[in-house]
Amino acid sequence: MTEAPVVVLGSGLAGWTSIKEFRKHDSQTPVVLVTASSGDAYPKPALSTAFAQGKSAQQLVNGLAADLAASLNVQCHAHSHAHGLHLAKRELHTDTQVFTYSRLVLALGAEPIRLPLDGDAADRVLSVNQWADYALLRERLQPGAKVLIMGAGLIGCEFANDLAGAGFQVHVVDPATRPLAALLPEAASAPLQQALGDLGVVWHLNNRVTSVSHQGPALLAHLHSGEALPVDMVLSAIGLRPDTAWLAQAGLACDRGVLVNHQLQTSDPHVYALGDVAQYASAGDRVLPYVMPIMTAARALGATLAGTPTDVVFPVMPVAVKTPAFALLLALPEPGTAGQWQSSEEHVWQFMTDDGRCRGFVLGGKQTAQRAKAMQWLAS
């Protein structure tokens, strides 16, 4: 009897990189890729910098599914949405067919959180988390359009910079009193807020959108403050959350993501997970929705799937905030670390513990070039 294939669910960075890493060790075992999207590869971080790069949505695609599948000896089933798992039978159920697996890799990312909004145009609010979302945004954006962005977090600020830099009129609404409030020490938000303001971004902080209605061909966004903003587009960037309900129902242990051990194995020994959907034991039970953790996890998983069980060990992984108006590089302390932010130089902040150890840093503007030096602070 032939062995059931390794089935990989999801064709984002986690899915394709896992396959590439596995193929470095094993070129023969059948691999099947199942994905709700087209399967084409693209660098997701470029979605929020495409205007600055002078690229259209189409130009961001850097690998066609058919070409990748051929070069990696993979059978690709695109536009196939999975909704069920039968762990005992090792079956993945989708809207097109049932796939039997020897090992299953869950690489299905996370879903945009959607706020319940009032108004007859609430369904016009866009979230950009996949290439197809971005293609739709570009299709709808007319030159000079007025765009309201919900959320002044990492993705909201990056889009604000890219769109304002490209000549769009950008408004950002957030319940916090400053941008990147959840990530930055207070003093570090100010230069970012200033720089994006200088670029034309209008801030509506300590505020939130309550409804979005049609107003002729445009939209009218009502804010909690009572203000009504006529806009052409509303973009929601308030965060992502893995859709684990159906996986938990199938019997997999889930919390904020699918729980995985140090070898990326879920509570079922034949099922693995990585990427935005995973909550990693190797990261102190955290989700790590960034590129670097995926590259690290995929390398370990490739070896594990090929028969050499390998623990994933995450190095310190600073995150670059791609806001060229005031770029930032962050390495945040582990949650619960006691200490405070200090600044001894302009646009440099260190998170210091009471015994004088540096456990995190934020570099802003030109200081982002000091990355190597800052990494040494964490090592000492």
Ligand X SMILES: Cc1cc2nc3c(=O)[nH]c(=O)nc-3n(C[C@H](O)[C@H](O)[C@H](O)COP(=O)(O)OP(=O)(O)OC[C@H]3O[C@@H](n4cnc5c(N)ncnc54)[C@H](O)[C@@H]3O)c2cc1C
Sites of contact with ligand X (CB under 6 A): 9-15, 34-37, 44-45, 47-48, 81-82, 107-109, 128-129, 155, 275-276, 289-292, 294, 319-320, 322
CB 38 to ligand X: min, Å: 8
Residue 336, number of CB atoms within 10 A of its CB: 6
Per the CB < 8 A criterion, the answer to whether 18 and 41 are in contact is no
Q: How far apart are CA 53 and CA 254, in angstroms?
A: 38
Helix (H) or strand (E) holding 248: helix 245-250
State in angstroms the smallest separation of the CB of 187 from ligand X: 23
Nearer to ligand X, 106 or 212 (CB): 106
Q: Closest distance between ligand X and the C-beta of residue 1, in Å?
A: 27
Separation of first and last alpha carbons in the chain: 56
Token couple for 63: 């690998």
Min dist CB 198 to ligand X, Å, is 22
Smallest distance from ligand X to CB 220, Å: 26
d(CA 39, CA 23) in angstroms, rounded, equals 18
Nearer of residues 9 and 160 to ligand X, judged by Cβ: 9
Quote the tokens at residue 121: 């145009």
Nearest approach in angstroms of CB 319 to ligand X is 6
Give min distance, CB of 350 to ligand X, in A.
22
Given a contact cutoff of 8 angstroms between Cβ atoms, the answer to whether 14 and 276 are in contact is yes
In the complex with ligand X, the residue whose CB is nearer, 23 or 322, is 322
How far apart (Å, rounded) are the C-alpha atoms in residues 207 and 150?
10
Q: Which is nearer to ligand X, 117 or 298 (CB)?
A: 298
Residue placing its CB nearer to ligand X in the complex, 174 or 276: 276
In the chain, the amino acid numbered 5 is P
Nearer to ligand X, 61 or 319 (CB): 319
DSSP one-letter code for 189: H
Under 8 Å between Cβ of 72 and 33:
no
DSSP symbols for 299-357: HHHHHHHTT-----------EEE--GGG-EEEEPPPTT---EEEEEETTEEEEE-TTS-
List the beta bridge partners of residue 374: none
Least distance from ligand X to the Cβ atom of residue 365, Å: 17
DSSP-based three-state secondary structure for 178 = coil
Residue whose pair of structure tokens reads 């230069």 in the numeric block:
191
> Could you give phi then psi for residue 140, rounded to 5 degrees?
-85, -20
Cβ pair 365, 221 in contact under 8 A: no
Q: Identify which of residues 155 and 303 has a Cβ nearer to ligand X in the complex.
A: 155
CB of 95 to ligand X, least distance (A): 9
Contact in structure between 252 and 243 (CB atoms under 8 Å): no
83 contact partners, CB below 8 Å, separation of at least 6: 93, 94, 95, 246
Compute the least distance from the CB of residue 112 to ligand X, in Å: 9
Q: Closest CB to ligand X among 36 and 68?
A: 36
Measured from the CB atom, the residue of 25 and 93 that comes closer to ligand X is 93
Q: Which is nearer to ligand X, 119 or 329 (CB)?
A: 329
